[in-house]
Structure 1
Amino acid sequence: MSKRGYHHGNLRQALVDAALELVRDKGPTGFTLSEAAKLAGVTPAAVYRHFQGREDLIAEAARQGYIIFSDVMAFAYNDGQPSALAAFEATGRAYLAFAQKYPGHYVAMFESGISVNRSPELADAASKAKRILEQAATALSERIPADRRPPASMFSAHIWAMSHGVVELFARGTPGTRSPYSPEDLLEAGIGIYLRGLGLIGND
């Protein structure tokens, strides 16, 4: 990792960028504020002008991650999908794509132990991402008779959990967890089985 500089007035973001790099390489508890400061090219004392401690710094990284995550999910959902089913499946794939492209943000969001309720801003960003997946689930579940229709929050939570599991086990290079199938194929098959069980798609 190389020492980075920062432009005047952008120290806060330089520290966040440094934290994302360290979180990605060392995990959320594997670095100190001094290391983040060094990587950002400032003194350790400068960190405290913007963050009270490492958790505050990681929380800001997570907040920014949720904003990116929401944008990725919204794009997948709204990008001219031909049907509610296609839009729903696209949000699942977007989860996987986000985790692969933004590993530092992903870890800060889901593996740091930072509560989404740590600040109103973080909670709002996290809720926005959740609402997009619930919106997709609501649109798709309207095809299920009302007496057999699961709550949209449960529906979306199942897909979120499945996507998260595929990411954790097979998309992040965890030793001993190689699969003969790609993460994308695993997720697509899992979502297909789930939707087939709800009667939303037919048998192959």
Structure 2
Amino acid sequence: MGKRGYHHGNLRQALVEAALDLIEEKGPTGFTLSEAAKVAGVTPAAVYRHFAGRDDLIAEAARQGYEIFADVMQYAYDQGQPSALASFEATGRAYLAFARKYPGHYIAMFESGISVNRTPELAAVANRARAVLERAAEELSQHIPPEKRPPPSMFSAHVWALSHGVVELFARNSPGTQSPFPPEDLLESGIGIYLRGLGLIAPDG
């Protein structure tokens, strides 16, 4: 863990960055506010001018993570346009890419037990991220006959769950869950099987 320290007078952000370091190293419940203060290079008392407790600090890390995540998802969606299929597949891959590049944020968002409804700001940005995948699902689902069409929220939730499962089991070095296949291949093939089942892409062969 590299000590980031207190820079440029922005103590609040220095504490968030310290928390991200500690979350990556020890998990979301494996550190105290005093440790975060030490990593940030300030006294423990200074923390309470910005955060009431550790959960508030982790919630802010999660909020910032969702901001990045929403932007990553939107970029992936835009890169796939004008193809609804390409945009949908790109948002699935973006999930995996985000988890790898921003592990501290990812853990704060999805593994800390912090509710996305803890603050209005956190809820709003989490909804913005989900909305990108739902929009991609809704566009793609227009190619399914209405009587066979799942709701876009269900459609996107299935792919979110598939992406999350690949990340948790095979992209974050979970003990005893080594896969003989790269996580990217697992995710792509899983999404492919799902889309074939809905008739959105042609069967192999």
TM-score (norm 1): 0.98
Q: Render the CA deviation track for 1:22-69: whole Å, top value 9, x for unaligned.
A: 011100000000000000000000000000000000000000000000
Structure 2 residue 99 is the aligned partner of structure 1 residue 99: yes
Deviation at 1:80, TM superposition (A): 4.9
The 1:98–1:83 alpha-carbon spacing in structure 2 relative to 1, beyond 3 Å, is: same
The 1:99–1:4 alpha-carbon spacing in structure 2 relative to 1, beyond 3 Å, is: closer
Q: RMSD of the TM alignment (CA)?
A: 1.0
Matches within 5 A, 1:46-125: 46-125=46-125
Residue 170 of structure 2 is matched in structure 1 by: 170
Cα distance between partner residues in 1 of 2:103 and 2:17: 12
Cα distance between partner residues in 2 of 1:40 and 1:182: 36
Structure 2 residue 44 is the aligned partner of structure 1 residue 44: yes
Residue 161 of structure 1 is matched in structure 2 by: 161
The 1:174–1:80 alpha-carbon spacing in structure 2 relative to 1, beyond 3 Å, is: closer
Q: Render the CA deviation track for 1:58-105: whole Å, top value 9, x for unaligned.
A: 000000000000000000000254511011000000000000000000
Aligned residues: 204
Structure 1 contact 3–38 (Cα < 8 Å) conserved: no
Q: What amino acid maps onto 1:164 in structure 2?
A: H
Structure 2 contact 65–106 (Cα < 8 Å) conserved: yes
Cα distance between partner residues in 1 of 2:182 and 2:8: 44
Cα distance between partner residues in 2 of 1:155 and 1:10: 41
Residue 19 of structure 2 is matched in structure 1 by: 19
Residue 132 of structure 2 is matched in structure 1 by: 132
The 1:192–1:3 alpha-carbon spacing in structure 2 relative to 1, beyond 3 Å, is: closer
Q: What amino acid maps onto 1:42 in structure 2?
A: V
Residue 188 of structure 2 is matched in structure 1 by: 188
Q: What amino acid maps onto 1:100 in structure 2?
A: R
Structure 1 contact 166–186 (Cα < 8 Å) conserved: yes
Q: Render the CA deviation track for 1:142-194: whole Å, top value 9, x for unaligned.
A: 00011111000000000000000000000011111111100000000000000
Q: What amino acid maps onto 1:150 in structure 2?
A: P
Mean CA deviation greater in 80-89 or 172-181:
80-89
Structure 1 contact 22–36 (Cα < 8 Å) conserved: yes
Q: Which runs of 5+ in 1 are unaligned?
A: none
Cα distance between partner residues in 2 of 1:120 and 1:203: 44
Q: What amino acid maps onto 2:15 in structure 1?
A: L
Q: Which runs of 5+ in 2 are unaligned?
A: none
Structure 2 contact 2–21 (Cα < 8 Å) conserved: no
Cα distance between partner residues in 2 of 1:7 and 1:99: 26
SS of structure 1 residue aligned to 2:68: helix
Cα distance between partner residues in 1 of 2:8 and 2:101: 28
Q: What amino acid maps onto 2:172 in structure 1?
A: R
Cα distance between partner residues in 1 of 2:72 and 2:3: 30
Cα distance between partner residues in 2 of 1:44 and 1:73: 36
